[in-house]
């Protein structure tokens, strides 16, 4: 997931992306907990990072809105 893609998304799109990423992460964590080998174990790390990216962009958008409202 690229930064440019995230910057172009609206808040609603970011929220949907976050939900999808968390579902995928939960599925992979469940596989790992039940000792089933996931297709790509490194994907867990990538998903966690993508969740953090989406949350960061959501916070940035919220802080920009607050700044514009104060003016």
Residue-level pLDDT, tens digit, the chain, 71 residues: 788 898 899 999 999 999 999 999 999 999 999 988 888 889 999 999 999 999 999 999 888 887 787 76
Q: What token pair was written down for 33?
A: 């907990």
**How much is the pLDDT for 37?**
83
pTM, 2 dp: 0.85
Residue carrying the six token digits 């962009």: 57
Residue carrying the six token digits 């996931």: 38
Which residue ranges form the domains of the chain, and what is each CATH number?
Answer: 3-70 (1.10.287.310)
């Amino acid at each position: 997931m690229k930064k440019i893609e995230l910057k172009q998304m609206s808040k609603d799109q970011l929220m949907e992306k976050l939900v999808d990423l968390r579902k995928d992460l939960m599925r992979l964590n469940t596989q790992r907990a039940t000792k089933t080998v996931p297709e790509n174990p490194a994907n867990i790390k990538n998903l966690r990072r993508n969740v953090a990216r989406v949350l960061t962009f959501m916070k940035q958008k919220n802080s920009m809105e607050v700044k514009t409202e104060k003016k």
